[in-house]
Amino acid sequence: MNLLKSIFISTFPIVALLIAVYSGKVLFLEGISLEYAGLFLASFPIVLFFLSLFINNIPRTSAKLFPWTLIIGIGSLMTFFGEPKVYYLAIFTDILWTLYVGWYSTFNNRADNTVLEVGQKLPSFQLEDAKSNTVSNDRFIGNPSIFLFYRGNWCPLCMAQIQEIADQYKELEKRGVNMVFISPQPHKFTASLAKKFQLGFHFLVDKGNQVAQQLQLLSENGLPFGFQALGYDSDTVMPTVIITDKNGTILFADLTDNYRVRPEPSTFIKILDESVG
């Protein structure tokens, strides 16, 4: 199933772009018509949505993406009385968008995680730093810690989320927090990310997704198809945030069931302050 998702997310935006270009070309060459204007309205917002993820530094979205869905739906309705091929293209676009929102974006069975329970000790695990040295999570005991598992530098929401947390560096530093970013991506990508921020954060690698498997966070074939050519592994991790107190006890675990829905840094700070209080 995840392999289908991997192929889907690599092809869906391209299909939407081709339909938008086709409808836009017809409108430009043949003049405005309701049906082709509707087809353009049903396809171009999809292209715009994905572009916005990469350009606008968006760390999260709503689960249902209702405003986008409404616009796409209105566009499809505008094609209802047009040529069958235009109507079918609009419906096809609708179906793809629905699959993206309700199927691709979600993870199954995250509530079944039996490892990351609030009040329990975070299990010991081994990671690697940029120089491939072994780093145990036990080294962070003594201070509260935030462990953020992110999919990789290729994921725009992950990068926006890390930037958002970096903007709160001083607030986290005041609370003595160990901020630990963990990804299964190759060391070179993690090293470039650490170099970009140059803050007192820890950027570590979960080589072979060993920790992701241990903590039940593995996303098999979670990488968009074709990104392997950039040097990433097909398997990745489901976005996850774990907050522990100074003794390594879990205070909070965000096991989001939607890769676009993620907690805000203000939530982390609130939980840390409440644990102290």
* Of 114, 41, 31, 101, nearest in space to 72 by CA: 41
Give 153's strand partners.
none
Model-level pTM? 0.93
The Cα 53–Cα 50 span in angstroms is 5
pLDDT at 158: 97
Kindly state the tokens that stand for 140. 């962070």
Angle, CA of 161, 249 and 118, to the nearest 5°: 70
**73-113 confidence digits (pLDDT tens):** 999 999 998 899 999 999 999 999 999 999 999 998 898 99
Residue 2 region, left (φ>0) first, then alpha (ψ -120 to 50), else beta?
alpha
Per cent of the chain over pLDDT 70 is: 100
**35-79 confidence digits (pLDDT tens):** 999 999 999 999 999 999 999 999 999 999 999 999 999 999 999
Domains and CATH numbers, the chain: 2-104 (no CATH), 110-276 (3.40.30.10)
Q: To which residue do tokens 């060459």 refer?
A: 29
* Of 157, 143, 147, 132, nearest in space to 258 by CA: 157
Element containing residue 190 per DSSP (H, E): helix 187-197
**179-203 confidence digits (pLDDT tens):** 999 999 999 999 999 998 888 899 9
